């Protein structure tokens, strides 16, 4: 049974209900995750609330040093974390290492919090009066995580939050909670005090409890649009700050002058890597001009990919997360075919020797896709690449901009003029120029937009620090003893009367 973490102790839930965590390559039960009871949830929030006063008053240098130690411990246990991710989530070991490493980079960034959280000072705003602003922590914050990055997403959340001086309640995905538990163990080994980080488990009930709890000041969420908009509206209505990263439909526009080899490699890696279960996966390619020769070459490369359990040394892509996910993906592929699209490569009936019960789908390429098809409108979240065709860059950009999502978009070209036009006119929050998955490093922020994000302040980077802090502005005046001029009832201004 996966434990809760409450006030510094890993404790088994008293709840009688639990969910099996399954290895998606074998269907074996890895562990059981409890549906944390309401009392246990309240205890976790209360532990975070009690830990807050001492933690916010802990010097920022001390908090940074804990992060320094944490990044060292994550490096030490990288293989162990990756193996857990592959077992519970299914991605290849190499990809699981990347999952941990992209999170580790956020921990490294949090090591410089003193500079990131620095305030501002203006002396003598009026005669003898100084004003300064400081960024203070909010209090108890919470994070709700998706299944697709069991290490990276928790590390987007709690390291920034706690290094700013907040305390935290984390709800990992019920499909793969192991990495969060391991990271919490490492955080405590690094010296994070009891109650600063707490972990609870569950599904809708616990999510609603997080949204409603009076003591939680801010909620970070990554996941689907349905859940994300529910959390955004419910938590906002209770006066909380919310940052909600949601679904996506990321397009690549390929111009005829694109470098053939580099572009094909990029499309294959970004379309089929992690079995397409990334919110920045490239799921749609718009070829400007003739698409047939590109599709033929894509087919050749996609056929060469090895689909098997992520623990196998030569695996290129593993299974999708669940039987339900596989069914949904297959249904969306079928709806495209029924709508008149053409299957260039069909990965639905793949059989993986030794892993016959796994949720495998092979690389799938669907061509002749149009914007009114179900498979185009929905985020597929599987190893499926949709191919569209446009006669000009303008027409291609219109297709991309008409889509409701705005996480990422890329262009492949050797023309600086075309790239600059694209970068200026495209309406996605993260733009790649000859880069397939333009996820910024943590000194920038993850800036999805349109229907891919709800909130005002994005994850990590400057925006992340702003999200987890509030500004206090202090105006001070120290006068000598002989003050003199009596009471003035007028509104104070910086002008001398």
Give the contacts of 231 (CB within 8 A, at least 6 positions apart).
144, 207, 211, 219, 221, 242, 244
Alpha-carbon 185 to chain mean position: 21
Core vs surface per residue 274-289: b (16+ CB within 10 A) or e: bbbbbbbbbbbbbbbe
Q: Residue 339 burial (CB < 10 Å; 0-12/13-18/19+)?
A: middle
Taking the alpha carbons at both ends of the chain, their separation in whole angstroms is 72
Residues 64 and 112 sit within 8 Å (Cβ to Cβ): yes
Residue tagged active-site, from 145, 279, 330, 387: 279
Distance CA 474, CA 488 (A): 21
Core vs surface per residue 165-200: b (16+ CB within 10 A) or e: bbbbbbbbbbbbbbbbbbbbebbbebebeebbbbbb
Q: Per the structure block, which two tokens stand in for 443? A: 């000194």
Q: Per the structure block, which two tokens stand in for 332? A: 């969306």
Active site residue 279: yes
φ, ψ for residue 241, nearest 5 deg:
-80, 140
Distance CA 486, CA 30 (A): 76
Catalytic residues: 279
């Amino acid at each position: 049974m996966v434990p809760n973490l409450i006030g510094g102790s890993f404790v088994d839930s008293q709840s009688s209900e639990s969910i099996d965590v399954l290895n998606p390559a074998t269907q074996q039960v890895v562990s059981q995750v409890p549906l944390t009871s309401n009392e246990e949830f309240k205890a976790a929030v209360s532990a975070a609330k009690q830990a807050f006063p001492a933690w916010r008053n802990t010097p920022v240098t001390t908090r940074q040093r804990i992060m320094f130690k944490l990044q060292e411990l994550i490096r030490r246990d990288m293989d162990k974390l990756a193996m857990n991710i592959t077992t519970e989530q299914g991605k290849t070991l190499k990809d699981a290492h990347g999952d941990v490493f992209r999170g580790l980079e956020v921990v490294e960034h949090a090591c410089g919090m003193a500079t990131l959280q620095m305030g501002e000072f203006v002396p003598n705003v009026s005669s003898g009066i100084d004003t300064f602003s400081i960024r203070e922590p909010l209090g108890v914050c919470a994070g709700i995580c998706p299944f697709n990055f069991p290490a990276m997403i928790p590390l987007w959340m709690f390291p920034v939050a706690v290094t700013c001086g907040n305390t935290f309640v984390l709800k990992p995905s019920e499909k793969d909670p192991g990495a969060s538990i391991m990271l919490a163990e490492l955080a405590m080994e690094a010296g994070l005090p009891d109650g600063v980080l707490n972990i609870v488990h569950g599904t809708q009930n616990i999510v609603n409890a997080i949204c409603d709890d009076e003591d939680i000041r801010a909620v970070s969420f990554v996941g689907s649009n349905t859940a994300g908009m529910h959390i955004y509206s419910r938590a906002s209505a209770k006066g909380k700050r919310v940052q909600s990263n949601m679904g996506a439909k990321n397009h690549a526009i390929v111009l005829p002058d694109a470098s053939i080899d580099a572009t094909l490699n990029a499309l294959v890696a970004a379309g089929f890597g992690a079995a397409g279960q990334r919110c920045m996966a490239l799921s749609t390619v718009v070829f400007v001009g003739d698409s047939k020769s590109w599709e033929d070459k894509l087919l050749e490369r996609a056929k060469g990919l090895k689909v098997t359990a992520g623990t196998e040394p030569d695996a290129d892509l593993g299974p999708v997360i669940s039987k339900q996910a596989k069914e949904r993906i297959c249904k969306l592929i079928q709806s495209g075919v029924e709508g008149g699209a053409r299957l260039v490569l069909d990965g639905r009936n793949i059989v993986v020797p030794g892993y016959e019960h796994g949720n495998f789908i092979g690389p799938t390429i669907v061509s002749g896709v149009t914007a009114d098809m179900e498979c185009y409108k929905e985020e597929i979240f599987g190893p499926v690449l949709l191919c569209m065709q446009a006669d000009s860059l303008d027409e291609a950009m219109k297709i991309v901009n008409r889509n409701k999502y705005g996480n990422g978009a890329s262009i492949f070209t050797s023309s600086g003029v075309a790239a600059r036009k694209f970068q200026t006119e495209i309406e996605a929050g993260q733009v790649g120029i000859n880069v397939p998955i333009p996820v910024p490093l943590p000194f920038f922020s993850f800036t999805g937009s349109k229907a891919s994000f709800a909130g005002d302040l994005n994850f990590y980077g400057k925006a992340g620090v702003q999200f987890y802090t509030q500004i206090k502005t202090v105006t001070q005046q120290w006068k000598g003893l002989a003050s003199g001029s009596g009471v003035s009832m007028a509104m104070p201004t910086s002008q001398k009367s």
